[in-house]
Structure 1
Amino acid sequence: MKYETIDKALYIKNRNNFMAQMKPKSLAVFNSNDIYPISADSTMPFQQARDILYLSGVDQEESILLLFPDAPDPKNREVLFLKETNEHIAVWEGEKLTKERAFEVSGIKTVYWLQEFDKIFFELMTQTETIYFNTNEHYRQAVETQTCEDRFIAKTKEKFPAHQWAKSNPILQRLRSIKDPIEIKLMQKACDITEKGFRRILNFVKPGVMEYNLEAEFMHEFLNNRSRGFAYTPIIASGNNANVLHYIENNQECKAGDLILLDVGAEYANYSSDMSRTIPVSGKFTQRQKEVYNAVNRVKNEATKLLVPGALWKEYHEEVGKLMTSELLGLGLLDKADVQNENPDWPAYKKYFMHGTSHHIGLDTHDYGILWEPIQPNMVFTVEPGIYIPQEGFGIRLEDDVVVQEKGEPFNLMRNIPIEVEEIEELMNG
């Protein structure tokens, strides 16, 4: 990994919070992600399963975390299993965590090599009544690939049919949705790296550049600042491409007079940032582009103020819909009849703004969070309204990442990233 060492106090706290919610005489297991094959001997770059990372800080393949707070032997209350490292592995793959280094990273004292897992796991299962399985229950998940966790669950159910089962995910959904100050600092770092990338391309954009040239400029800046790269597949959408919400080809020429919608974010230490900005290829917005841009920016600013403790997700989005409806009326894109005759299940504003305004962000770009429970302090959300007008050849989306505060407006992690029309034009023409 490229990032600097993270304080293990974060992982000690996370484990304690998780174990405090486990049933008596229960044990929880978390597996690292597989390394996924492409073809022949090629594989995709490894990315750690976020839950084992959240609870241990261990960022390498073939790792298992076991939590057993009521273990008769105190040394078995937190146990890590790692792939054994040796000189041969160090030569071919680079150094893996030693037992000593694993303690420095995680704060876990009991560390075994992976080949000892089956024996020790069996012994501990004879001392427990319930096992927590870690399933993916995120509201957007649509995974078809069998994961390491899936295989572990199937094998364990077969081998220990008399044990009770419980779910880790509801506990993790709540814990991970509220960010520790250490996590917020890491997310701020990711946003700061994104800012550097954005400022870099403001000096680079001109008619004739290709969308992928801009993608390359972002990647250059991200890698130079200890980021692995993009937190998600970047969207660099010029002209009418901006009206395709998940446009990722990034292969068209940026033409004079057009706008470019940029939806990009750097990751840092596995934490995501998620930024959207829309800029003019020629360095100046037209009057119409400016009107629509400022309308989107007003919705973003007013929507941000609604993210307060106790607010409910569904009601928040309904309020943002009212803000957007008002702006669309002002722009002449809707008239009063459109609003009076709208379908309540698909309001009139959805013709021009068809996606949600906010999502949790953290270790995942669409991070954990239970949407039917009230918003709480230290949750981190995106705020990303947009207006998409295919008939006028452009779409505009603006997005910041904000931290909900105990009192007052959320704290904007992207407060230093240029967003006002005048500042963007000045930087592009400076």
Structure 2
Amino acid sequence: MKYDQIDNKLFIKNRKKFMAQMRPKSIAVFNSNDIYPVSADTTLAFEQHRDILYLSGIDQEESILLMFPDAIEKKHREVLFVRETNAHIAIWEGAKLDKKQATDVSGIKTIYWLSDFEKVFFGLMTEAEIIYFNTNEHYRQAVQTQTREDRFIIKTKNQYPGHQVAKSNPILQALRGVKEPEEIDLIKRACQITEKGFRRILKHTKPGIWEYELEAEFLHEFIINRSKGFAYTPIIASGNSANVLHYIENNKQCKDGDLILMDVGAEYANYSSDMTRTIPVNGRFSERQRKVYEAVLKVKNEATQMLRPGTLWSEFHIEVGNIMTSALIDLKLLSKTDVEKESKDWPAYKKYFMHGTSHHMGLDTHDYGPLKTPMEANMVFTVEPGIYIPEEGFGVRLEDDVVITQNGDPINLMDTIPIECDEIEELMNN
């Protein structure tokens, strides 16, 4: 790993919170992700399952976390299984965690090699009545590949048909949605790395540069600041490509007079940042571009102030839609007649702003977190309004990452990243 080791007190707290919500005589098991093949002997880079990472800090393949608060032997109330290392593995793949290192990272004292799992698990299941399975219930999930968790669930149901089944995900949705101070610090570190990347590309952007060259400048800055790279597939969309919401080809030349919409964020220690900025290729906004840009910025600033404890996510989006409607009328993109005739299912503003304004973020860019209950302090949300005008050949989106606070004043973790038109122009032309 490139990042500094995280204090294991965070993971000790996270496990304590999770186990406090487990039912009596229950076991919860969490598996690492698989290493996925490409072809021949090639694999994708390993990415740890965020749930086992959240609960243990273990960022290594073939690891299993087991929690059993009512275990008869105290040593089995928290157990971690890791892949046994040896000299051969160390030479070919690099050293893996030994038992002491696994304890140092996780704060878990009982460490077994993975080869001992079946025996230890059987013994503990004879004491348990319920097993918590970890299923993916994120509202945007669309996973088609069978995961290591999936295989574990199938196998365990067959081997232990007499046990009751419970779900880990509802607990994790609530816990992961509210960040610990250490997590907010890690997200802020990711945001600071993103800022360095953005300031770097402001110096490099000029007519004729290619989108992928800007992508490379971001990546360079991220990696030299101890990030693995992008928290998600970056969008570098110049001209009309900005009107394709998930444009990721990044293969066009940036032309004089166009805008570039950049939805880019660095990760740090597996925590995400999520930034969007829109800049002029030639370093100067046209009058029309500036008007649209400042309208989006105004909506973003007003939406940010609405992120307070007690706010309902669904009502928040309705109110942001009302603010955006007024902005679009001022820009003469909508008329009052358009609004009067709008459908309740698809408001008039959706023609130019068709996506949501905010989502949870943290270990995942679209992070776990409750969406049907009121917002709470220490939740972290994006704020990302946009206006997309294909007929005029450009789109503008602006996005920051915001912490909800107990006193009601949200904290913008990206408040030092340039966003005002005049500052962007000054930096690009200095």
Instruction: Find the counterpart in structure 2 of residue 258 from structure 1.
Output: 258
Q: Tell me how far apart the structure 2 counterparts of residues 162 and 408 of structure 1 sit (CA, whole Å).
A: 49
Matches within 5 A, 1:1-20: 1-20=1-20
Instruction: Find the counterpart in structure 2 of residue 146 from structure 1.
Output: 146
Instruction: Find the counterpart in structure 2 of residue 352 from structure 1.
Output: 352
**1:88 is aligned to 2:88:** yes
Equivalent position SS for 1:207: coil
Instruction: Find the counterpart in structure 1 of residue 302 from structure 2.
Output: 302
Instruction: Find the counterpart in structure 2 of residue 333 from structure 1.
Output: 333
Matches within 5 A, 1:268-283: 268-283=268-283
Letter in 1 for 2:235: I
Q: Is the 8 A contact 2:30 2:52 kept in 1?
A: yes
Instruction: Find the counterpart in structure 1 of residue 44 from structure 2.
Output: 44
Matches within 5 A, 1:94-133: 94-133=94-133
Equivalent position SS for 1:131: strand
Equivalent position SS for 1:136: coil
Q: How high is the sequence identity, in percent, across the aligned residues?
A: 72
Q: Tell me how far apart the structure 2 counterparts of residues 389 and 70 of structure 1 sit (CA, whole Å).
A: 59
Q: Tell me how far apart the structure 1 counterparts of residues 164 and 10 of structure 2 sit (CA, whole Å).
A: 30
Q: Residues 366-397 of structure 1: CA distance to partner in whole angstroms, max 9, x if unpaired? A: 00012101100000000000000000000000
Q: Residues 39-67 of structure 1: CA distance to partner in whole angstroms, max 9, x if unpaired? A: 00000000000000000000000000000
Q: State the 1:102 CA deviation.
A: 0.5
Q: Tell me how far apart the structure 2 counterparts of residues 369 and 180 of structure 1 sit (CA, whole Å).
A: 13
Q: Tell me how far apart the structure 2 counterparts of residues 420 and 345 of structure 1 sit (CA, whole Å).
A: 34
Letter in 2 for 1:73: E
Equivalent position SS for 2:175: helix
Letter in 2 for 1:266: A
Q: Tell me how far apart the structure 2 counterparts of residues 272 and 371 of structure 1 sit (CA, whole Å).
A: 19
Q: State the 1:295 CA deviation.
A: 0.1
Letter in 2 for 1:65: L
Q: Tell me how far apart the structure 1 counterparts of residues 319 and 361 of structure 2 sit (CA, whole Å).
A: 21
Q: Residues 209-252 of structure 1: CA distance to partner in whole angstroms, max 9, x if unpaired? A: 00000000000000000000000000000000000000000000
Q: Is the 8 A contact 2:309 2:408 kept in 1?
A: no
TM-score relative to the length of structure 1: 1.00
Q: Tell me how far apart the structure 2 counterparts of residues 74 and 132 of structure 1 sit (CA, whole Å).
A: 19
Q: Is the 8 A contact 1:362 1:380 kept in 2?
A: yes
Equivalent position SS for 2:204: coil
Q: Tell me how far apart the structure 1 counterparts of residues 408 and 421 of structure 2 sit (CA, whole Å).
A: 26
Give the 4+ runs in structure 1 shifted more than 2 A.
none
Instruction: Find the counterpart in structure 1 of residue 33 from structure 2.
Output: 33
Q: How many pairs align?
A: 430
Gaps of 5+ in 1: none
Instruction: Find the counterpart in structure 1 of residue 22 from structure 2.
Output: 22
Q: Tell me how far apart the structure 2 counterparts of residues 155 and 89 of structure 1 sit (CA, whole Å).
A: 28
Instruction: Find the counterpart in structure 1 of residue 56 from structure 2.
Output: 56
Equivalent position SS for 2:382: strand
Letter in 1 for 2:87: E
Instruction: Find the counterpart in structure 2 of residue 157 from structure 1.
Output: 157
Matches within 5 A, 1:183-332: 183-332=183-332
Q: State the 1:408 CA deviation.
A: 2.7
Q: Residues 234-286 of structure 1: CA distance to partner in whole angstroms, max 9, x if unpaired? A: 00000000000000000000000000000000000000000000000000000
Q: Tell me how far apart the structure 2 counterparts of residues 127 and 7 of structure 1 sit (CA, whole Å).
A: 32
Q: State the 1:409 CA deviation.
A: 2.3
Q: State the 1:79 CA deviation.
A: 0.2
Letter in 1 for 2:256: A
Equivalent position SS for 1:203: helix
Letter in 1 for 2:246: H
Q: Is the 8 A contact 1:304 1:409 kept in 2?
A: no
Instruction: Find the counterpart in structure 1 of residue 429 from structure 2.
Output: 429
Letter in 1 for 2:34: D
Letter in 1 for 2:249: E
CA RMSD of aligned residues (A): 0.4
Matches within 5 A, 1:375-394: 375-394=375-394
Q: Residues 60-84 of structure 1: CA distance to partner in whole angstroms, max 9, x if unpaired? A: 0000000000000000000000000
Q: State the 1:173 CA deviation.
A: 0.4
Letter in 1 for 2:425: E
Letter in 2 for 1:250: N
Q: Tell me how far apart the structure 1 counterparts of residues 117 and 186 of structure 2 sit (CA, whole Å).
A: 33
TM-score relative to the length of structure 2: 1.00
Letter in 2 for 1:100: K
